[in-house]
A and B are shown apart, each in its own frame.
Chain A
Amino acid sequence: MTFKEIKEMLQCEVLCGEELLDSTQIEKAFAADLLSDVLAYAKEGTLLVTGLTNQQVVRTVEMLELRGIVFVRGKKPDTETINLARSKNIPMLTTRYIMFETCGRLYQCGLTGSIECV
């Protein structure tokens, strides 16, 4: 599905990258609040679902070439972090759903895990 469809389904607020949502296809996701695990396991082209909002989340997405970020539980990074993501063309959304609900809804729509198990 497109990132735009995800935005609508999860009733997200767009933090940056609105112009990229239509053209960004998302097929798999990785959810974690531990960047060490994201760095170790997430495959490129993945959507990151997280509650962490520091700059290293954006750096992690940049290094791994992930496709975008959905922040859960209504979390929002600071302006500097949003600007960093914008400069790297990384779309970022925030949803009020908790991580479990977010993942469940994405899975129901056909998204699969970036990896199934370790």
Chain B
Amino acid sequence: MRAGEVSSSIKKTLKEIGIDSQIIRRMAIACFEAEINVVCYAESGTFNLTITPDTLKVVVEDVGQGIADIELAMKEGYSTATDAIREMGFGAGMGLPNIKKNVDRVAVESRVGKGTRLEMVIEMQDLSKKASD
């Protein structure tokens, strides 16, 4: 499995532009968690990065099984992971909660059997929120 290449290239792009390193780290972690989710639970997915002077936005859209209960999926420890996912070191039910922790705004829409749309936004003017919060 080669999950992580997309997040790595997003991180590289943000570095090249000269975005604040703490913001890059937060978005890189969020993207990687999202990428793992796409690889584990969907058939295909796209990442769309939008940068404005004020905000950094990544929209992840996948075609896949979708999330039946988004509220539950946002809770730490809730997981529908298979043994194969767990053997890779994931599937602890920390993905979406960790995304929420690292970005300023997160929105999830999903249709079971169709796919999921995840929007992650970091406000670039607000440097107060850190990954360590």
Which residues of A are in contact with B by a Cβ distance under 8 Å? 33-40, 43-44, 52, 54-60, 62-65
Contacts and interface: CB of A to CB of B under 8 A. Distances in A.
A37 B13 CA distance: 26
Interface stretch (B51-59, B91-99, B107-115): B91-99
A37 B95 CA distance: 10
B7 A63 contact: yes
Contacts of B72: none
B25 interface: yes
Nearest to B33: A39
A34 B92 contact: yes
Contacts of A40: 94, 97-98, 101
B28 interface: yes
B29 A56 contact: no
A75 B22 CA distance: 32
Nearest to B7: A63
B41 interface: no
B80 interface: no
A76 B34 CA distance: 27
Contacts of B4: 55-56, 58-60, 62-63
B32 A54 contact: no
